[in-house]
Chain A
Amino acid sequence: MSLPEVGTGLIAGGTSIDPAATGIEGTATPGFGVAAHKRLGWVFWVAAGWVVLVILAAIFAGLLPLQDPSVPSALPGLDPSGSHLLGTDELGRDLLSRVVYGSRVSLIVGFSSIALGLAVGGMLGLLAGYYRGFLDSVITGAANILLAFPALVLGLAIVTFWGPSLFHVTIAIAILSIAPLTLVVRGSTVIYSEREFVSAARMLGASNRPIILREIFPNVVPAAVSLGLISVAVAIVAEGGLSFLGLSVRAPTPTWGNMIAEGQAVIGQHPLIALWPGLAMFLTVLALNIAGDRLRGYFDIKEGGL
């Protein structure tokens, strides 16, 4: 038995409400339990804060007091010092500014590829989950096939065929993200479509479109958003990988991936050159995962407290 949740005047019945309800009424309103007030926690805010910081730094990099990332400004391989907070790379360029500017590509690719993937995959998932039947079989079948392709091979193929550029990398990763997003949104949609309030809406005479938009969509969004954040993390790593292989944006534009590639050559003598971009990527990916995970937990519980 968990902590008493909701005192709702319900004795038993179709929901999972514990008849041990003790009539908890929270501030001003009845009916929500302990759980509904669960906060996101400080861990979430630290993670979210980091992501926001990185995004802001990327956007406003030009306004920050940073050196030019593409031009050598000191001796190569310097250790961190007052004028070069993270040191310099193998060509003498300031590492801090390269890391900051490098985040741009990661973030742009990460967020836009997933936004695109969610738009397409989300829509397909909603349609498949709501209408079921033939449409569902087709969409799910296609998603499963796409999912079966080794992602790396597909990504490489697309980028090699089209040529490496910001746009092509984004599209490649977006395409790869569609299948899993479709399936997850579909799953969530199926669950909600079977809930009584959807039947109720149908009985009121709503046609399919308003039901999908007003009843199902708002319920699926939270799960999709949290999944989205976690997917952005994956996308960033994916871009990093492609970039490391030289298949993303080319030098001299810094990206975390190509910085790691460059740093790899001299990792014995100057490990920091590869470490800083790697650390930046690691922290950002971690922060996104944590934020996405916490959000998912928060939304789940909020509903569980019904």
Chain B
Amino acid sequence: MAGSGTAHLRDSDDPLLRVENLVVEFPAGSGRRVHAVSDVSFDVLRGETLGLVGESGCGKSTTARAVIQMIKPNAGRVVFDGTELTGLRGKELRQLRPELQMIFQDPISSLNPRRRVVDIVAEPLTIWKRDTPSERSDRVREIFDVVGLDYDAARDRYPHQYSGGQCQRISIARSLVLEPKLLICDEPVSALDVSVQAQILNLLEDLKERYGLTMIFIAHDLAVVKNISDRVAVMYLGKVCEVARADDLYSRAAHPYTNTLLASIPEPDPDFRPSTTYKARGEFPSPVSPPSGCRFRTRCPRAEALCAEEEPVIRANGPDHYVACHFPVEAPVTMTAGAPAGWSGPAAGG
């Protein structure tokens, strides 16, 4: 997996966000450390949506929090719109906050239970002393409208009087009121019902277009991530395994882990027969002592001796498709419409 891996960073003009060699580790008692994020790099161009997908413990949320400087990374650079965030302190960092916003997974605990909903959404304007008070309520009213909530009804309401989906809309409204450039969504729909999830996903797409947002969307649900992203990065145990355009990732997944994920998804299709080659096996290794070489090797059907000795470096595997694997898959689990769902076989040679 991407040890030193920056091959997938694009030379482009001017990415909005560029993360290089990010490392985040936590003490785990008795001198051990949790290697939550180990040398992760990626970039996001203006107007792009990057999906970060992986299971729990892969470090995707930690990466997001390190990007937004909620946690201080142990090493690495985060360059946002030309400014390096990692070096900034206190006040300078604060000044940039309006441009980088985040939405959290739990819609209800991210709202102060003792404040009225309209105040919560107006708060950023108050903090940054934007607009006059009457302009503020206009702006808040407008944003409520945009996210699909009733402003007048909300005036005296508190978060506990709203449903999960509505609370998430309130969170989104709060993040957008300052018109940020980058919006990081940390599992925003994971805790919501399917029908509500669809509403929020559509809403995010609309908002992205309306406000010209650049987004990082984090989730563990591959289908959700594919739906909303332009580009997807798959993470496992603190490393980036594969980065590709969304459609590509799913039709030609090159990393064995990506294939395992695809084979594990419960498809709402009674005829779907998941691949047996890539059936998930074994358990997650501990992030305190991850496997040597490639971190996925203990569960990989293609692992060889090399995988334990040498960590794979991320490299190109097709146009705008990068993978960190010594033996990338060439006959992957296919998911495109029209292809027999879930079949993997020696189509182009294994």
A209, B157: Cα distance in complex, Å: 25
A217 to nearest B CB, angstroms? 9
B111 to nearest A CB, angstroms? 5
Kindly supply a per-residue 1/0 record for chain A positions 280-306, scoring 1 wherever the CB is within 8 Å of any chain B CB and 0 otherwise: 000000000000000000000011011
Within 8 A of B (CB), among A1-21: 6-15, 17
In the complex, are the beta carbons of A199 and B70 less than 8 A apart?
A: yes
Number of CB contacts from chain A to chain B under 8 A: 119
In the complex, are the beta carbons of B164 and A9 less than 8 A apart?
A: yes
B59 interface contact, C-beta 8 A: no
Interface 9-mer from A26-34, A92-100, A171-179, A243-251: A26-34
| In the complex, chain B residues whose CB is within 8 Å of the CB of A303 | 113, 160
Contacts A9-B193, A31-B160; A197 near B97 (Cβ below 8 A): no
Contacts A31-B161, A306-B160; A204 near B108 (Cβ below 8 A): no
In the complex, are the beta carbons of A15 and B163 less than 8 A apart?
A: no
| In the complex, chain A residues whose CB is within 8 Å of the CB of B165 | 9
Q: Which of B70, B94, B107, B161 has the most chain A CB atoms inside 10 A of its CB?
A: B161
Contacts A9-B192, A202-B70; A197 near B109 (Cβ below 8 A): yes
Contacts A30-B163, A207-B94; A201 near B123 (Cβ below 8 A): yes
Interface magnitude class on chain B: 35 or more
Smallest Cβ-Cβ distance to B99: which chain A residue: A205
A218 interface contact, C-beta 8 A: yes
Within 8 A of B (CB), among A181-225: 195-197, 199-207, 210, 214-215, 218-219
| CB contact between B108 and one of A11, A29, A215, A306 (< 8 Å): that residue | A306
In the complex, are the beta carbons of B192 and A11 less than 8 A apart?
A: yes
| CB contact between A31 and one of B100, B109, B123, B162 (< 8 Å): that residue | B162
Interface of B with A (CB < 8 Å)? 68, 70, 94-95, 97-98, 100-102, 104-115, 123-124, 127-128, 157, 159-167, 171, 174, 178, 190-193, 196
Interface of A with B (CB < 8 Å)? 6-15, 17, 29-32, 36, 195-197, 199-207, 210, 214-215, 218-219, 302-303, 305-306
Residue pairs across A and B with Cβ atoms less than 8 A apart, 27 shown, are A8-B164, A10-B192, A10-B193, A11-B193, A12-B191, A13-B106, A15-B106, A17-B108, A30-B161, A31-B160, A31-B163, A36-B160, A197-B111, A200-B102, A200-B110, A201-B112, A203-B70, A203-B97, A203-B100, A203-B102, A204-B124, A205-B127, A205-B128, A207-B94, A214-B123, A306-B113, A306-B159
